[in-house]
Amino acid sequence: MAKTLVFCIIGALLLSLTYVPMMASLFLRRTVPAKPSLADRLFDRLRIWYRAPLRWCTRRPWTTIGVSFAMLAGSLVLLSRLGAEFIPTLDEGDFAMQMTLPVGSSLEKSIDVSLKMEKALKEHFPEIKHVVAKIGTAEVPTDPMSIETADVVIVMKPFDEWTSARSREEMVDTMKAVVDAVGGAEYNFSQPIQLRFNELMSGAKADIAVMIFGEDLEELSDKANEIVPYIEKVSGVGDVILEQTMGLPQIVINYDRNTIARYGLNVKDINTIIRTAYAGETAGVVFENERRFDLVLRLNRDQAKDVRLDRLFVRTPDGLNLPLSEVASVSVVDGPMQINRDATKRRVVVGVNVRGGNTQQVVADIQKTLEKNVKLKPGYYFVYGGSFENLQNALSTLEIVIPIALILIIILLFFAFKSLTFTLVVFSTVPLSLIGGIVALWLRDMPFSISAGVGFIALFGVAVLNGILMINHFKALHKRSVYHMCTDRVIAIGAPHLLRPVLLTGLVASFGFLPMALATSAGAEVQRPLATVVIGGLLVSTVLSLIIIPAFYRLVGIFTFISDHRQHRKMQQSNRPSSLPATAVVTLLALFPLASMAQPRTVGLDEGIAIALQNHPRMQMATMDIERNRLAKGEAWDGGGTVVSYSWGQLNSDFRKDHELSIEQPLGSPLTPFYKYALAKARTTTAENYRDVVRKEVTAEVKRAWTTYQYAHSMHRLYCEHDALTERLKAAADLRLAQGDISRAERNMISTLAAEMRTRRVEALQELELAERRFAWSLFSTERQLLPSDTLLARFQRPSCSNTVSPSYLSYFAALEFEKHKEYKLENSKFFPEFSLGWNRQRIEPLQGLNSFMVSMSVPLIFAPQLSRSRQARMSWKMAEQEAEMNRKQLLNNMMERYNQLAREEERLNVFERQALGEANALYESAILQFREGDTDIAELVQSIQNVLSVRESYLKTLLQHNITVLELELYTE
């Protein structure tokens, strides 16, 4: 039922976020009618009635809160007087009766009494279909009983056909009167399932088992007989059943060994005579054809019960017959019928059936009566079991479960409000909701039970809904305008506005439990306390929320105002000149940037890629290489240096005053500059394509460092979780070892697992730190330490399937090939002649001002070296073509391999996400639960934890490899 409620709430949450908005957009009218509806007029009237008590309570918040918690204290006092029981008694429709005859009764006596009892019941009650009695032990001895005890099942007709009684209790009283008139036995009425359940839990077929522990069976039997009259006088006690432990007739023979020795007899011969008389002794063999039978001698069974054992004769070695009374004394005494033990102690059980009362109150009254009237010897004590023991165990469990539930509610409220004050304000509705649940149980005359306890737990979760709604609305009103509203104004506007949603929330939840509260079908006894608690608690909690939450909110506003006022005064005082030395202020201001630099900054993936592209040395070098090749275009034409020469002396005359000045400028080949410019342009294109390749590789490097960090963080979180689990298991194992529940070897297995998890956690932390450094190194940022903003290892999307390699790589390979081709063209251009221009001025005595111009052409007649260089360039070009084609094929092959690898990894991930992880989580939870319940051994637990860890590790490794494969595909294709 609890799981159904949880899943219903989760489903309602999902529908409210998806289905309800969609349906509202489809079916709700766009225009709101101006005419108020019947519901509007009703709630307007309720708001008018609500404002007066709201105003009174908010003006007196302390009085309101005090009265509310006084009502809570009164309800807790009322709860202590309600009584308690384990679970409400289910009406099974039939009756089970235990018939107990006196000790030593024969089987014939049991059959005779049971037949008379069955006949009497069938004659007096027409509602009975069948009466079936089972005497003694069954064929399969799983329920051993003596022949003095019988389980009687009374199969009844439907309750509508009953005429002898109007209720179950009245029918039991009437039947008990009829069977008591039969006599000859004691009768205990119950129900078939209830009878077996009580017997399984405490060993007694009754609701309450009063067990007396001690050493002497006779003392235990006497005390059990002594307490029965006191228990019968307690109010609410129906049947009292005393466990029969004494009264079994026994023949005791005490031998006079001196007399036996005087007559020359021995004990063995006397025992043989007694055994022959009653059990029989083989005296010979009788043959019937091929069959052989032992001839057994013994007394006639019909006459054996009337024969006195002491009159049997014993023959002496002298042939003298002596009566047994001469050599032994024979007596019949009452001996123990059975000896029952519990926790190595002998005990006697007095079973008590509760009728017309509750278990806790009846047990309390029995304890008071017995402590007052019965005195036990040292070493003897009472223990109360049965359904009362189950109730105590269940209450102990609730003492743990309820605080945990309340703590979880507080944590969730704190996450919702980010304020401890508002968390406690909303949480105040939880204890106040107890008032309605307790009063509802009291009005319906129901004791506290485990069903009611579960109802209180469910009530705690629902009770905070109205508080969350009101506090959120108050905070929204407070911050709605630029000038915030005062607290009284927020309450005056917000509380009446919330009247409709608050009332509808509580009433709808209450009406949902109404069928359970009014049910009368089979099993309704368990549902009614739960539904009663929830309905009563929600009704009272809803009304109190409309009063208490505004009162608390006003108190919070008052304290906030006082705190702000004090803070304002402190700030005014702090504006005065400070006595702090100037050097200290300077030191603090200097340390502030250092403290801020010590804190790491988180970046997103896109931001990290942008930082890396800006700061990465490869990107910077690729950009500089582009600029270098662009500048190389300026050296396309290079004719060489200008040659200036001056000559003086005897040039063309006998005088030594001849002068000659000449200037020559080589022009080179007219085609070579064009090929050099084309080569520089090709190299610039190659550098640009290389920069694109570097950009893709740097991006992939950052993404790889990003996903590697996420993987390291996920592995560290996984090992931390398993380390915490193994530490808790180690503590539990130490406790169980101290209690003797497990061996030291099993405890060492847990310790070894804990040590291994601790080592893996430390290694994972080191890997995480290394991944942090790798990520920061991949960004090449000069800022403080940078970390990824997302630590969850997410699955990268599969790139679109393509059979072509990335255009960046293809362009880069083609550019390299084209560059080699241009180098080959440049070397071929050097076969053309080169030209040069010159000017010459001479002064040859007696002539002056002799000018001449010169044009020269150089032809490479020895062209073998240049031919070799041209052929080398051509081979480099062809090699570049082959290398480009090889690179394209290799990248295409790598791309197809990555696609195949990605398909396998996606298939593995799908298996993990659809089946393996779910099974691992289920194995994890079941292993921990079984260990807590003690249903599994340590070896199986350790194996289960290691299997779960292995599955989770494999999933994370597969996810990392999948992401790396996706990155490689993006590098090769996009």
Q: Around Cβ 239, how many Cβ atoms within 10 Å?
A: 21
Give the global pTM: 0.47
CA separation for the pair 528, 447 (Å, rounded)? 11
- What would the pLDDT profile of 119-140 be if each residue is shown by its tens digit? 888 888 888 888 888 887 655 5
Beta carbons of 232 and 240 less than 8 angstroms apart: yes
* 914 secondary structure, DSSP code: I
CA separation for the pair 262, 641 (Å, rounded)? 158
In this prediction, residue 440 has a pLDDT band, given cuts at 50, 70 and 90, of confident
Beta carbons of 531 and 436 less than 8 angstroms apart: no
Residue partners of 61: CB distance under 8 A and separation at least 6: 551, 552, 554, 555
- What would the pLDDT profile of 905-922 be if each residue is shown by its tens digit? 888 888 888 888 888 888
Three-state secondary-structure class, residue 841? strand
* 84 secondary structure, DSSP code: B
Three-state secondary-structure class, residue 242? strand
- Confidence (pLDDT) at 595: 38
Is pLDDT of 97 > 70?
yes
Beta carbons of 901 and 965 less than 8 angstroms apart: yes
Three-state secondary-structure class, residue 236? coil
Range name among 12-21, 147-156, 651-660, 691-700 with the lowest pLDDT average: 651-660
- What would the pLDDT profile of 694-753 be if each residue is shown by its tens digit? 888 888 888 888 888 888 888 888 888 888 888 888 887 777 777 666 777 777 888 888
In this prediction, residue 876 has a pLDDT band, given cuts at 50, 70 and 90, of confident
In this prediction, residue 576 has a pLDDT band, given cuts at 50, 70 and 90, of very low
Determine the average pLDDT of the residues in 484-509: 75
More confident site: 302 or 59? 59
Three-state secondary-structure class, residue 34? coil
Range name among 128-142, 157-171, 627-641, 877-891 with the lowest pLDDT average: 128-142
CA separation for the pair 403, 609 (Å, rounded)? 49
Beta carbons of 601 and 785 less than 8 angstroms apart: yes
Is pLDDT of 310 > 80?
no
More confident site: 322 or 653? 322
Beta carbons of 394 and 86 less than 8 angstroms apart: yes
In this prediction, residue 87 has a pLDDT band, given cuts at 50, 70 and 90, of low
More confident site: 141 or 795? 795
**Phi and psi of 855, rounded to 5°?**
-125, 125
Question: For the residues of 452-509, what is the DSSP string, one character each?
Answer: HHHHHHHHHHHHHHHHHHHHHHHHHHHTSSSSPPPHHHHHHHHHHHTHHHHHHHHHHH
CA separation for the pair 99, 85 (Å, rounded)? 26
- Confidence (pLDDT) at 566: 57
Strands (E), 160-203: 186-190
> Which tokens in the block code for residue 371?
């402590």
Determine the average pLDDT of the residues in 359-379: 82
Residue partners of 761: CB distance under 8 A and separation at least 6: 716, 719, 720, 722, 723
More confident site: 623 or 359? 623
Is pLDDT of 851 > 60?
yes
Determine the average pLDDT of the residues in 569-587: 43
- Helix and strand element counts for the chain (H, E): 29, 21
- The residue assigned the tokens 């105002």 is 561
In this prediction, residue 580 has a pLDDT band, given cuts at 50, 70 and 90, of very low
In which order are the strands placed within the sheet that holds 834-844?
Answer: 643-649, 658-668, 834-844, 847-858
Q: Over pLDDT 90: what percentage of the chain?
A: 0
Q: Over pLDDT 70: what percentage of the chain?
A: 84
Is pLDDT of 591 > 60?
no
- The residue assigned the tokens 């996009």 is 974
- Confidence (pLDDT) at 575: 45
Mean confidence (pLDDT) of the chain: 78
More confident site: 637 or 532? 532
More confident site: 690 or 104? 690
In this prediction, residue 271 has a pLDDT band, given cuts at 50, 70 and 90, of confident
In this prediction, residue 560 has a pLDDT band, given cuts at 50, 70 and 90, of low
CA separation for the pair 418, 508 (Å, rounded)? 29
In this prediction, residue 357 has a pLDDT band, given cuts at 50, 70 and 90, of low
- What would the pLDDT profile of 775-834 be if each residue is shown by its tens digit? 888 888 766 577 887 788 888 887 765 667 778 888 888 888 888 888 888 888 777 777
> Which tokens in the block code for residue 25?
């957009």
CA separation for the pair 546, 473 (Å, rounded)? 13
- What would the pLDDT profile of 599-613 be if each residue is shown by its tens digit? 577 888 888 888 888
Determine the average pLDDT of the residues in 177-181: 82
* 740 secondary structure, DSSP code: T
Beta carbons of 618 and 716 less than 8 angstroms apart: no
- Confidence (pLDDT) at 203: 59
Determine the average pLDDT of the residues in 383-407: 76
Question: For the residues of 422-454, what is the DSSP string, one character each?
Answer: HHHHHHTHHHHHHHHHHHHHHHTT--B-HHHHH
Question: For the residues of 266-328, what is the DSSP string, one character each?
Answer: -HHHHHHHHHHHHT-EEEEEEEETTEEEEEEE---HHHHTTS-GGG-EEE-TTS-EEEGGGTE
- The DSSP bridge partners found for residue 350 are 210, 242
* 344 secondary structure, DSSP code: T
